[in-house]
């Protein structure tokens, strides 16, 4: 009967975890002060009663108190990041108030830290792959509104390029170069065990932009395949594992309030002719018709668009334990008013984490829920590009204008449709708003079934609902012909995860071995739905009827296993195997096997090195990963596509819609990337100097590329298929130096660098020296022009242009190109392969300094050997940009350099070096220590972000993902004040 009672009770406990299993009294206490080797008190040390999840954290003065409801013998552990975990066994008698002061030993290399590696954790020292783990302490500071910005420039082999200065615009992340041509090159991102959907959410800038960086405890990056292969078919571009902050059972309520308030300013605008310069140029060179169009005003259109941006980001976190239920609750309110007038992002978030433990630590449960609501106002970014060329001799407002009072170009028929529209009209007459709700949550049970044998079940969801509206009034020039715009959109996403795995750890002391075995099963399903809406004008009349609604879904089922074998604490081996089945491929090609093997040797633990006090580890790994993110859930299925109402064909008096078979490859399957990595980790001079060095080679086969197929064999000319291979080879290194570590002063700096070389090694079935490859990299100017090529023997997206001829004084000669094949004709056969947009070398440098209660730091980042095609100059720095009649346009100042009269769109004159060094961040902080009579701790800091950029590039910003510079939302310089108050 009692058993039944227990079962029922336990079941209830499982269902509603909030129910505590123990009740604390207070029979005895343990208290003390924790210090570091320099004698400084350590606040924030986690003091845990082993196996229970109950405990406390040390106060601002390093003191802690633990209360016990029963006398007895207890094992207490003390952990703090950067220090070696200390475990103490104590015996308390009833009513005893034991004092225990202790000093923690430093673990500068974090060798004892448990690192999350996917379906488990591994002690840092035992890692065999190329894995970087970054914690809160090393995160970037300041107005960091999206998570990936926390680690910019901090990790070798990882290149993060923010898309623009737009609020929430997110970033492009590349780990050790891109491995694919047409499939995704984004890494897999896993938050608390739930791989999130990398594809954007409608009405939001970026998938990660919804996550509050303040919730993040730790980011682990699996760079090589031996580490990433456990994630199989999605891991070819590396894996980023995000672990969020958790609560733990402390009776005391901890409240942490932090606020960051920032101003953002635009530091640079595109260099264009002033009104006077334009008048001078036109009066000297223009026709009478053109001269007559000039006005008398002096309008700086770009300046009119921008404002002082304001960001406020406020977080309040409650953590502690209700009875023995550990919790952490974070509430966030962030508002970012971008530097482009009207652009705004508001985010409200709540995240709750509960992680109680039952049955004397045998059942660990963890529940995480994060709910975010964002409101976006997308200011019309088209206004930025228009402002570059809108005629500066004209006024902004025109009292007589019927277009909402904005000056617009008109001809006899009314609005001149070919002319650009007033940039301020574009900006102010378009209300493009969205709101997004997203919930990411998981529930995890970890049950110790037998000794050292755990069963883990993790279920997660990533659900979002978004909708948006775009409203443009009838009088707005941009949509005047249609009578304005009144459109809406909606999207729902439901992504589910359910997985089970078992883990068995065993010390086999007889053979000095330890094994750690994991095997599991995972099911994931991604579902997206987008209803179709008609596009309407402002009055609600249909302009284009609703199309076909969108609904798409894919499923991934996986089996995986891993063995970690540790011999004599010195020889380490990790082997993994994963089998993935994806609904994206036909049953014949559905399943893929992804193995990996890695070994490591802790050389410094060998006897012959025992005197050196050095840390040295050799690593070598091999792994196969895949890629199946091809932006289409049904690529192998023959599909007939129905045409829209504007694409019908007339027979007699009837218009028939069209049914078209889409081109497809029924045999499509995943790409496979085989990687090799060798590396060393080291630490010497008492671990004051530490670092790692890695060499890698990644070969992608069955490359998913859109290539021309033999004409006549499919329903289109190019299809996405598996063809060819690509290689990335590289070296990456990082060194961290603790130069000074004294009680009142510390200085630490780090440097990391990566060399990566990318080359397409095969792309076609037949070799033909006349074929340059596949033209990519569409550019503005003319129609359908491209500036890049995918070609065997070259890096992906290599520039492909004419070689400009220059005169003796170094000025380009208009229209003259080098006749590469000497046939006296300049045609497509004279285009040459040039540089490419990815850097040959990129590096980060950061330093931090503390003196008494002051801290200071900065981080610098550079990329070298990357090139940009300056599409702004090539289309707007040419005299031909001045229309012959009807309206006037401005030129960029590059015209004064090149003096080009007609477009030279494919000239390599416009391919410029975009190497740069950017100071991402400089900060100074002061720690007030305890305030309010010791009841709170306060620290403040001042931060400047995007301090300066040094680059030979003539355009606005040398950091352009993809290497083609069209107008972007400028990245502002941001000045912030942060304060953190702990109660």
Partner 1 sequence: MKNKLIFSAMLLALVSITTPSCFNDLDLEPAYGLNSIAVYENPDNYIHVLAKIYAGLAISGNQGPAGNPDILGIDEGFSQYVRVLWNLQEISTDAIKCAWNDPGIPELNKMQWSSTNSFVNAMYYRIYFQIPLSNEFLREASDDKMTERGFSEADKALIRGYSSEVRFLRALSYYHAMDLFGNVPFVTEENELGANAPQRILRADLFNYVESELKAIESEIPSVNEYGRTTKAAVQTLLARIYLNAEVYTGTARYADCATYCSKVINDGGYSLEPVYDHLFMADNHNSNEIIFPVTFDGMFTQTFGGTTFLTHSTIGGEAMSAIDSSYFGVQFGWAGNRSTPQYAANFPDTDDSRNMFFLDGQTLEFTEDAQLGQFVVGWPVAKWRNITSTGAVGSDATGNYVDTDFPMFRLADVYLMYAECAARGAGDVGLGLGYVNVLRERAYGDASNNAASITPESVLAERARELQLEGYRRTDLIRFGLFTGGEYLWAFKGGSFAGASVPEYLNLYPIPSSDVVANPNLIQNPGY
**Using CB under 8 A, which residues numbered 815 to 854 contact partner 1?**
815, 825-829
Structure tokens at 136: 């809160």
Q: Cβ closer to partner 1: 136 or 885?
A: 885
Cα–Cα distance measured from residue 199 to residue 911, given in angstroms and rounded to the nearest whole number: 31
Residue 889 has what DSSP assignment?
Answer: B
Shortest Cβ distance from residue 903 to partner 1 (Å)?
A: 5
Kindly tell me the sign of the dihedral angle through the C-alpha atoms of 283, 289, 290, 296.
Answer: positive
Give the residues across from 253 on adjacent strands.
none
Shortest Cβ distance from residue 453 to partner 1 (Å)?
A: 10
Beta carbons of 710 and 721 less than 8 angstroms apart: no
Q: Cβ closer to partner 1: 708 or 934?
A: 708
Q: Which of 253, 255, 292, 658 lies at the binding interface for partner 1 (CB under 8 A)?
A: 658
Q: Which of 166, 384, 860, 906 lies at the binding interface for partner 1 (CB under 8 A)?
A: 906
Cα–Cα distance measured from residue 673 to residue 680, given in angstroms and rounded to the nearest whole number: 23
Which class for 39: exposed (0-12), middle (13-18), buried (19 or more C-beta within 10 A)?
Answer: exposed
Shortest Cβ distance from residue 885 to partner 1 (Å)?
A: 5
Cα–Cα distance measured from residue 583 to residue 525, given in angstroms and rounded to the nearest whole number: 10
Q: Does 93 bind partner 1 (CB under 8 A)?
A: no
Which class for 224: exposed (0-12), middle (13-18), buried (19 or more C-beta within 10 A)?
Answer: buried
Which class for 770: exposed (0-12), middle (13-18), buried (19 or more C-beta within 10 A)?
Answer: exposed
Q: Which of 95, 540, 686, 782 lies at the binding interface for partner 1 (CB under 8 A)?
A: 782
Near partner 1 in 39-68, by CB under 8 A? none
3-state SS string for 83-135: ECCEEEEEEECCCCEEECCEECCECCCCCCCEEECCCCEEEHHHCCCCEEEEE
Shortest Cβ distance from residue 577 to partner 1 (Å)?
A: 19
Q: Cβ closer to partner 1: 497 or 919?
A: 497
Q: Which of 435, 488, 492, 764 lies at the binding interface for partner 1 (CB under 8 A)?
A: 764
Q: For 561-599, give one letter per residue: b (16+ CB within 10 A) or e.
A: bbbbbbeeeeebebbbbbbbbbbbbeeebbbbebbbbbb
Near partner 1 in 358-397, by CB under 8 A? 359, 362-363
Q: Which of 396, 731, 775, 856 lies at the binding interface for partner 1 (CB under 8 A)?
A: 775
Q: Which of 783, 808, 810, 933 lies at the binding interface for partner 1 (CB under 8 A)?
A: 783
Near partner 1 in 662-701, by CB under 8 A? 665-666
Q: Cβ closer to partner 1: 298 or 667?
A: 667
Shortest Cβ distance from residue 646 to partner 1 (Å)?
A: 3
Near partner 1 in 528-557, by CB under 8 A? 548-555, 557
Listed residue (498, 528, 667) closest to 590, CA to CA? 667
- 848 by DSSP, 3-state: which? strand
Q: Which of 499, 671, 732, 957 lies at the binding interface for partner 1 (CB under 8 A)?
A: 499
Q: Does 418 bind partner 1 (CB under 8 A)?
A: yes
| Among 195-203, 745-753, 900-908, 974-982, the segment contacting partner 1 (CB under 8 A) | 900-908
| Among 122-130, 198-206, 782-790, 959-967, the segment contacting partner 1 (CB under 8 A) | 782-790
Near partner 1 in 195-254, by CB under 8 A? none
DSSP readout, 277-314?
HHHHHHHHHS-HHHHHH--S----HHHHHB--EEEEEE
Q: Does 455 bind partner 1 (CB under 8 A)?
A: yes
Element (H, E) at 976: strand 973-982
Q: Does 5 bind partner 1 (CB under 8 A)?
A: no
Full strand arrangement of the beta sheet holding 72-79: 54-57, 46-49, 72-79, 86-92
Phi, psi dihedral angles at 532 (to 5 degrees): -95, 135
- 807 by DSSP, 3-state: which? coil
| Among 146-154, 292-300, 356-364, 845-853, the segment contacting partner 1 (CB under 8 A) | 356-364
Q: Which of 64, 378, 445, 910 lies at the binding interface for partner 1 (CB under 8 A)?
A: 445
Which class for 885: exposed (0-12), middle (13-18), buried (19 or more C-beta within 10 A)?
Answer: exposed
Q: Cβ closer to partner 1: 3 or 809?
A: 3
Q: Does 89 bind partner 1 (CB under 8 A)?
A: no
Q: Which of 521, 806, 932, 948 lies at the binding interface for partner 1 (CB under 8 A)?
A: 521
**Cα separations in angstroms, 839 against 751, 755, 757, 794, 870:** 17, 8, 9, 14, 17
Q: Does 399 bind partner 1 (CB under 8 A)?
A: no
| Among 343-351, 401-409, 453-461, 931-939, the segment contacting partner 1 (CB under 8 A) | 453-461
Query: Which x/- pattern over 733-762 shows residues binding partner 1 (rule: CB under 8 A)?
Result: ------------------------------
Shortest Cβ distance from residue 759 to partner 1 (Å)?
A: 19
Near partner 1 in 851-890, by CB under 8 A? 884-886
Query: Which x/- pattern over 261-290 shows residues binding partner 1 (rule: CB under 8 A)?
Result: --------------------------x-x-
Beta carbons of 788 and 797 less than 8 angstroms apart: yes
| Among 7-15, 332-340, 390-398, 427-435, the segment contacting partner 1 (CB under 8 A) | 7-15
Q: Which of 582, 870, 915, 954 lies at the binding interface for partner 1 (CB under 8 A)?
A: 582
Near partner 1 in 304-323, by CB under 8 A? none
Q: Cβ closer to partner 1: 450 or 608?
A: 450
Q: Does 492 bind partner 1 (CB under 8 A)?
A: no
Cα–Cα distance measured from residue 547 to residue 140, given in angstroms and rounded to the nearest whole number: 45
Q: In 177-310, which residue ranges form alpha helices assigned H by DSSP?
A: 225-228, 275-285, 288-293, 301-305
Shortest Cβ distance from residue 624 to partner 1 (Å)?
A: 21
Go through the chain and tell me how many residues it has. Answer: 983
How many residues bind partner 1, per CB under 8 A? Answer: 114
Q: Does 650 bind partner 1 (CB under 8 A)?
A: yes
Near partner 1 in 457-476, by CB under 8 A? 457, 459
Listed residue (237, 145, 350) closest to 704, CA to CA? 237
Cα–Cα distance measured from residue 20 to residue 358, given in angstroms and rounded to the nearest whole number: 9
Q: Which of 770, 807, 809, 822 lies at the binding interface for partner 1 (CB under 8 A)?
A: 770
| Among 41-49, 485-493, 654-662, 916-924, the segment contacting partner 1 (CB under 8 A) | 654-662
Q: Does 8 bind partner 1 (CB under 8 A)?
A: no
Q: Cβ closer to partner 1: 213 or 781?
A: 781
Shortest Cβ distance from residue 523 to partner 1 (Å)?
A: 5
- 559 by DSSP, 3-state: which? strand
Q: Which of 581, 595, 929, 962 lies at the binding interface for partner 1 (CB under 8 A)?
A: 581
Q: Which of 40, 97, 303, 645 lies at the binding interface for partner 1 (CB under 8 A)?
A: 645
Near partner 1 in 286-305, by CB under 8 A? 287, 289
Q: Which of 397, 631, 640, 948 lies at the binding interface for partner 1 (CB under 8 A)?
A: 640
Q: Does 101 bind partner 1 (CB under 8 A)?
A: no
| 218 Cα distance to chain centroid | 15
Q: Which long-range contacts (CB under 8 A, 24 or more apart) does 532-536 make?
A: 533/487, 533/488, 533/489, 533/490, 535/485, 535/487, 536/485, 536/486, 536/487
- 208 by DSSP, 3-state: which? helix
Query: Which x/- pattern over 697-726 shows residues binding partner 1 (rule: CB under 8 A)?
Result: ---------xxxxxxxxxxxxx--------
Q: Which of 24, 504, 517, 523 lies at the binding interface for partner 1 (CB under 8 A)?
A: 523
Q: Which is it for strands 916-931 and 936-950: parallel, antiparallel or unpaired?
A: antiparallel
């Amino acid at each position: 009967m009692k058993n039944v009672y227990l079962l029922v009770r336990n079941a209830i406990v499982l269902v509603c975890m909030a129910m505590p299993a123990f009740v604390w009294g207070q029979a005895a206490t343990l208290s003390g002060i924790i210090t570091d080797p320099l004698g400084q008190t350590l606040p924030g040390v986690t003091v845990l009663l082993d196996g229970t999840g109950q405990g406390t954290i040390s106060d601002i003065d390093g003191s802690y108190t633990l209360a016990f409801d029963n006398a007895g013998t207890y094992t207490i552990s003390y952990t703090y990041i950067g220090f070696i975990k200390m475990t103490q066994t104590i015996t308390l008698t009833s009513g005893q108030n034991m004092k225990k002061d202790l000093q923690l030993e430093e673990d500068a290399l974090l060798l004892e830290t448990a690192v999350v590696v996917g379906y488990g954790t591994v002690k840092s020292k035992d890692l065999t792959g190329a894995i970087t783990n970054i914690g809160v302490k090393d995160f970037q500071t300041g107005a960091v509104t999206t998570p990936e910005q926390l680690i910019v420039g901090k990790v070798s082999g990882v290149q993060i390029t923010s898309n623009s200065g737009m609020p929430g615009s997110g970033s492009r992340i590349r780990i050790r170069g891109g491995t694919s041509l047409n499939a995704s090159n984004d890494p897999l991102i896993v938050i608390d065990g739930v791989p999130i959907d990398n594809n954007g959410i409608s009405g939001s800038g970026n998938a990660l932009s919804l996550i509050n960086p303040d919730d993040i405890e730790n980011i682990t990056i699996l760079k090589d395949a031996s580490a990433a292969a456990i994630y199989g078919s999605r891991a070819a571009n590396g894996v980023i594992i995000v672990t969020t902050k958790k609560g733990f059972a402390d009776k005391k309520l901890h409240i942490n309030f932090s606020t960051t308030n920032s101003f953002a300013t635009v530091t640079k605008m595109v260099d264009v002719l002033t009104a006077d310069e334009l008048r001078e140029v036109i009066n000297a060179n223009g026709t009478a018709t053109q001269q007559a169009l000039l006005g008398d005003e002096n309008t700086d259109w770009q300046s009119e668009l921008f404002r002082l941006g304001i960001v406020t980001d406020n977080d309040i976190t409650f953590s502690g334990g209700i009875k023995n239920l550990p919790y952490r609750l974070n509430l966030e309110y962030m508002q970012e008013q971008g530097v482009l007038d009207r652009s705004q992002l508001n985010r409200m978030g709540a995240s709750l984490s509960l992680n109680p433990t039952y049955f004397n630590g045998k059942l660990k449960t963890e529940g995480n829920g994060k709910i975010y609501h964002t409101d976006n106002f997308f200011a019309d970014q088209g206004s930025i590009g228009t402002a570059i060329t809108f005629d500066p001799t004209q006024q902004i407002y025109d009292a007589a204008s019927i277009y909402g009072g904005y000056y617009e170009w008109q001809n006899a028929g009314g609005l001149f449709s070919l002319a650009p529209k007033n940039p301020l009209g574009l900006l102010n007459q378009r209300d493009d708003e969205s709101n997004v709700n997203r919930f990411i949550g998981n529930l995890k049970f970890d049950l110790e079934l037998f000794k050292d044998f755990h069963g883990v079940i993790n279920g997660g969801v990533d659900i979002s609902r978004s909708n948006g509206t775009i409203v443009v009034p009838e009088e707005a020039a941009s949509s005047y012909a249609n009578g304005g715009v009144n459109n809406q959109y909606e999207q729902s996403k439901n992504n589910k995860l359910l997985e089970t795995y078992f883990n068995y750890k065993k010390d086999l002391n007889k053979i000095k071995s330890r094994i750690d075995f994991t095997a599991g099963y995972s099911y994931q399903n991604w579902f997206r739905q987008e209803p179709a809406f008609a596009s309407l004008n402002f009055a609600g009349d249909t302009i284009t009827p609703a199309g076909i609604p969108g609904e798409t879904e894919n499923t991934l089922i996986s089996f995986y296993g891993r063995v970690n074998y540790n011999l004599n604490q010195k020889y380490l081996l990790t082997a993994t195997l994963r089998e993935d089945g994806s609904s994206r491929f036909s049953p014949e090609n559905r399943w893929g096997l992804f193995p990996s093997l890695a070994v490591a040797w802790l050389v410094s633990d060998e006897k012959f090195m025992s005197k050196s006090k050095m840390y040295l580890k050799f690593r070598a790994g091999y792994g196969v990963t895949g890629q199946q993110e091809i932006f289409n859930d049904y690529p192998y299925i023959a599909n007939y596509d129905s045409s829209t109402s504007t694409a019908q064909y007339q027979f007699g008096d009837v218009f028939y819609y069209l049914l078209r078979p889409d081109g497809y490859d029924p045999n499509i399957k995943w790409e496979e990337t085989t990687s090799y990595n060798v590396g060393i980790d080291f630490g010497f001079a008492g671990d004051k100097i530490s670092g790692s060095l890695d060499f890698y080679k990644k070969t992608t086969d069955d490359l998913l590329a859109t290539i021309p197929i033999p004409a006549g064999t499919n329903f289109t000319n190019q299809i996405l298929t598996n063809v060819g291979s690509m290689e990335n080879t590289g070296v990456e290194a990082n060194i961290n130096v603790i130069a000074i570590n004294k009680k009142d002063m510390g200085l630490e700096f780090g440097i990391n660098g990566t060399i990566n070389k990318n080359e397409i090694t095969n792309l076609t079935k037949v070799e033909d020296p006349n074929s340059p490859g596949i033209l990519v990299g569409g550019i503005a100017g003319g129609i359908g022009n491209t500036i890049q090529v995918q070609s065997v023997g070259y890096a992906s997206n290599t520039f492909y242009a004419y070689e400009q001829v220059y005169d003796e004084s170094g000025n380009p000669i208009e229209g003259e190109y080098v006749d590469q094949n000497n046939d006296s004709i300049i045609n497509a056969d004279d285009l040459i392969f040039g540089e490419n947009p990815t850097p040959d070398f990129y590096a980060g440098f950061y330093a931090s300094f503390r003196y008494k209660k002051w801290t200071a730091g900065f981080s610098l980042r550079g990329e070298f050997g990357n090139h940009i095609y300056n599409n702004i100059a090539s289309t707007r720095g040419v005299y031909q940009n001045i229309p012959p009649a009807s309206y006037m346009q401005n030129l960029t100042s590059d015209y004064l350099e090149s003096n080009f009269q007609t477009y030279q769109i494919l000239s390599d004159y416009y391919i410029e070096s975009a190497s740069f060094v950017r100071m991402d961040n400089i900060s100074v902080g002061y720690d007030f220590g305890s305030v309010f009579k010791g009841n709170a701790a306060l620290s403040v800091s001042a931060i400047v972000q995007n301090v300066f950029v040094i680059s030979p590039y003539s355009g606005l910003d040398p950091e352009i993902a993809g290497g083609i510079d069209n107008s972007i939302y400028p990245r502002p310089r941001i000045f912030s004040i942060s304060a953190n108050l702990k109660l």
